[in-house]
Amino acid sequence: MRQMNQIPLAEPAPPPGLPAPQPEQMARSNALLGVLGHQIDAGQGFLRFDHFMRTLLYTPGLGYYSGPAAVFGGSGDFVTAPQLSPIFASCLTQQLRRWLAALPTEEQCITEFGAGDGTLAGQLLAAMGHEIGSYDIVELSANLQARQQATIAQLAPQHLTKVRWLAELPEQLNGVVFGNELLDAMPVRLFELRTHQDQVQILERGVGIERGRLCWQTQTAEASFDSAVRDQLRYATQGANLAQKFGSGFSSEYPEEALGWVASIALRLQRGVLLLIDYGFGASEFYLPQRSGGTLMCHYRHHAHTDPLILVGLQDVTSHVDFSAVTQMGLKHGLTLLGYTTQARFLMNNRLGEIASDFLEQCNDFKDRITHTQGLQKLVSEAEMGELFKVLALAKGDIFDNAGFISGDRTNRL
Ligand SMILES: C[S@@+](CC[C@H](N)C(=O)[O-])C[C@H]1O[C@@H](n2cnc3c(N)ncnc32)[C@H](O)[C@@H]1O
């Protein structure tokens, strides 16, 4: 029996090299620690990591995405593709147009999940707002919803009336449903392997409290989680002996929430395309012995590190996407695979060259041109987002155009 009533007292100071939070940020973080302390107590000293991550990111008013902090952009913690360059949205527009053109007018709708600060929505609406019937946004954070509205009012005021913020998933979806860096922000369950000769035990990793501080805890995985993890690892290794392949101490993530989300979208999508853009790999690259600590990462004011137990509510916590698991779940629920490639290839297949040269030609200010060239470089460079970020399209219904995936096909890695 674990000890109860050990509410953590205070956030430890951030490690050297990370900027110190402001007093009001510390106060918010300590309030969130209080919430976590109660949840850990309620779980007899153990809080599953996915539940911990949901509290960190989405507690109203206190969570990372639900609090008042500016998470995106130079003054925040990280930047995403639409903030790097409007060329990202211009290329995406090419593909969206072709998909929507294959649908009857009343189904020419876009649903964006997790629209962040609204930059991409604003850019897409400015470019093609007159070609779509509606632009729906599903966003968990009320604070971000308000920011999205302000951004769209600035970038595409004439189309603001087409935008609706949905409080819950509609029963039926048509058109294009998409998320840029959505799945990486969904809570993940964590597991760890213990091996004894050829036998493997699956442990679930969670969070507890020790001497007034958050600490890692493990417990034996319940049967359904145990078998989901084993299935995923067997798929990734094509049936290899897990003890020999990974060894004791190997730990990684299992994207239960993301998979549940994909299943529910697949079931609701009547006709159209589900488009997901994110960092990640197919299962055989995701679950590698060399990646023995998994892919969980934290971002705090443009510093990346791996400790989610510090700076609670003040830093992003994210994991890479297992695109094989996502694809399998979509196929299981009636979707077909339209394409899977790297972000660089997807953008190039969508006229990146012409769009970029037109854009830069119209850019009169020398400094602006440098900034846009650097943004473009980040989007496609193999060392930045070009290779690590992938684009996956799954479809329901008619045969949809897959020109955005015409070269650089990676479906054999899924
Ligand atoms: C990393 S941000 C990406 C923001 C934006 N798409 C961009 O590219 O800048 C993740 C976003 O997904 C939202 N989010 C996470 N889970 C969600 C869910 N189940 N439904 C809707 N939005 C979600 C977060 O609140 C946040 O806006």
Three-class SS state of 104: coil
Nearest CA residue ID for atom 23, ligand 1: 114
Query: 112 CA to middle of ligand 1, Å?
Result: 9
Q: Which residue out of 71, 83, 120, 140 has the highest number of ligand 1 atoms within 8 Å of its CB and is therefore the one to mutate? A: 140
Question: What number is the average pLDDT over the span 378-405?
Answer: 93
- Alpha-helix runs per DSSP H in 75-130: 81-84, 87-101, 119-128
Report which DSSP code applies to 109. E
Which amino acid belongs to residue 15?
A: P
Average pLDDT over residues 143-151: 94
For the segment 260-300, what is each residue's pLDDT rounded down to a tens digit?
A: 999 999 999 999 999 999 999 999 999 999 999 999 999 99
- Tell me what the pLDDT averaged over the chain comes to: 93
Per-residue pLDDT at 5 exceeds 60: no
Atom of ligand 1 lying closest to residue 83 CA: 9
User: How do residues 177-193 score in pLDDT, each as one tens digit?
Assistant: 999 999 999 999 999 99
Locate the DSSP E strands across 242-313: 251-254, 269-281, 297-300, 303-305
Residues in contact with 161: Cβ distance below 8 Å, sequence separation at least 6, in sequence order: none
Residues with CB under 6 A from ligand 1: 65, 72, 80, 82, 113-116, 120, 138-141, 144, 180-182, 185-186, 261
Q: Put residue 358 in one of left, alpha, beta given phi > 0 → left and psi -120 to 50 → alpha.
A: alpha
The count of other CB atoms within 10 Å of the CB of residue 46 is 17
Q: Predicted confidence band at 1 (pLDDT cuts at 50, 70, 90)?
A: very low
**For residue 10, what pLDDT is reported?**
63
Measured from the Cβ of residue 411, the count of other Cβ atoms closer than 10 Å reads 15
pLDDT band at residue 2, thresholds of 50, 70 and 90? very low
Distance 37 CA to ligand 1 centre (A): 26
Counting Cα atoms < 13 Å in the Cβ hemisphere of 388 gives 13
Q: Residue 55: which residues within 8 A CB-CB, separation 6 or more?
A: 32, 35, 36, 39, 63
Nearest CA to ligand 1 atom 16: 186
Alpha-carbon span 191 to 205, nearest angstrom: 5
- DSSP bridge partners of 300: 303
pLDDT score of 9: 54
Percent of the chain residues past pLDDT 70, beyond the cut: 97
Which numbered atom of ligand 1 lies nearest the CA of 257? 19
Q: What is the pLDDT of residues 351-382, one digit of tens each?
A: 999 999 999 998 888 888 898 999 999 999 99
**pLDDT tens, 14-58?**
777 888 888 899 999 999 999 999 999 999 999 999 999 999 999
- CB atoms closer than 10 angstroms to residue 369: 15
Question: For residues 128 and 121, what is the distance between their CA atoms, to the nearest angstrom?
Answer: 10
Which phi-psi region, left, alpha or beta, contains residue 408 (left: φ > 0; alpha: ψ -120 to 50)?
A: left
Instruction: Look at residues 263, 265, 335, 270 and name the one whose alpha carbon lies nearest to residue 106.
Output: 270
Query: Within the chain, how many helices (H) and strands (E) appear?
Result: 15, 16
Q: Tell how far the Cα of 182 is from the centroid of ligand 1, in angstroms.
A: 5
pLDDT of residue 301: 87
What's the mean pLDDT in 109-126? Answer: 97
Confidence of residue 348 (pLDDT cuts 50, 70, 90): very high
- In total, the chain counts a number of residues equal to 414
What is the per-residue pLDDT for 16? 75
- pLDDT exceeds cutoff 80 at 85: yes
Backbone angles phi, psi at 255, to 5 degrees: -85, 60
Q: Is the pLDDT of residue 69 over 80?
A: no
Report the pLDDT averaged over residues 392-412.
Answer: 93
Min mean pLDDT across 7-11, 64-68, 284-288 is at: 7-11
Quick one: which atom of ligand 1 is closest to the CA of 57?
Answer: 25
Three-state SS string over 138-170 comes to: ECCCHHHHHHHHHHHHHHCHHHHHHEEEECCCC
pLDDT tops 90 at residue 101: yes
In this model, does residue 322 exceed pLDDT 90?
A: yes
Q: What is the mean pLDDT of residues 159-185?
A: 96
Rounded distance, CA 323 to CA 412, Å? 12
User: Quick check: 284 and 236 in contact, CB under 8 A?
Assistant: yes
